[in-house]
Amino acid sequence: MTDLKLLEHLETYLTEHRKNRFHEVLQERTKHFTVATEDVYQLHNTSAVIRSCDVFGIQEVNIVEEQNSKQIDREIAMGAQKWVDLNRFGSVKDCIRDLKGKDYQIVATTPHTNDCELYDFDINKKSCFFFGRETEGLSKEVLDEADCFLKIPMVGFTESLNISVSAAIILQHVTTKLKKSDIDWRLSETEIYEKRLDWCKKTIKSYDEIVERFYSDN
C-alpha cells in the first residue's frame, strides 16, 4: 500500500513539469497487453523492444533468459528501462506460468497454420505477445503453450522482420485499437500511486535520506 503522505512529500522535490509528465504518461499506461522476449541474442533487439513498450504505453516487459543473459543496453533503450517494469525469468516455463496466473493469453508472433493476421486480432483478452530468437524464432514450448498465433501481413520477397520492428508494428496497432475501445485498459488507481512512488525513487537524488527524514519527523 502506497503511503500517500510520503508520496505527496516526495513530489515536492519534483518540478511541476516532471509531476505533470508523470501524470500524463500514467494515464496512457496499460497492463492489458504485455510483451515477452525469449532468449533474444542481440542485446540491441531486447533494448529496442523495451523502448517500443515505453513509447506505446506498455507498462511491463517479460524477459526470458534461459540461454542468453545480458544487461539491457542503456543507450539503445534510451532510459526506457527506468519507466517500464522488467520481469526477468530463467525459463520459459516460469514465465508462461506467471503470465497465465495473471490471466494473460499467450500470443505467439509467428506464422502458423491457424494464425491470425494483425488486423483481425481480438483485443478484448489480456494478451502477452511473445517474440523469439533472431534465427530460430520461438521455442517449441512457447508454440505448444500458445493460445493463438499472430502474423504481420507481408507482400514483399522478405518473409520476416527484425523482432524489434515486429514488436513496434504490433504494439502500435493493438494499443491504438485498444484506446478506441470500451475496454477498461488503464492502470488502477493503486497501480498509478505505486508507479508515481517508484518513479520518484528513480528520479530524486538522496531518496533514501529524504524518506528516512520524513518518517523520523512524522
The percentage of residues in the chain with a pLDDT greater than 70, rounded to a whole number, is: 92
**What are the tens digits of pLDDT across the range 94-110?**
999 999 999 999 999 98
* Better pLDDT: 70 or 3: 3
* Better pLDDT: 109 or 218: 109
8 A C-beta contact, residue 32 and residue 174:
no
Domains within the chain, CATH numbers bracketed: 1-27+188-218 (no CATH), 30-185 (3.40.1280.10)
Q: Per the structure block, which three cell numbers stand in for 144?
A: 505448444
The percentage of residues in the chain with a pLDDT greater than 90, rounded to a whole number, is: 72
- pLDDT given at position 68: 58
Return d(Cα 153, Cα 173) in angstroms, integer: 13
Average pLDDT over residues 132-147: 88
Average pLDDT over residues 124-145: 91
Most confident of 12-21, 57-66, 82-91, 105-114: 12-21
- pLDDT given at position 46: 86
* Better pLDDT: 145 or 79: 145
8 A C-beta contact, residue 189 and residue 3:
no
Confidence category of residue 39, pLDDT binned at 50, 70, 90: confident
8 A C-beta contact, residue 40 and residue 137:
no
- pLDDT given at position 104: 98
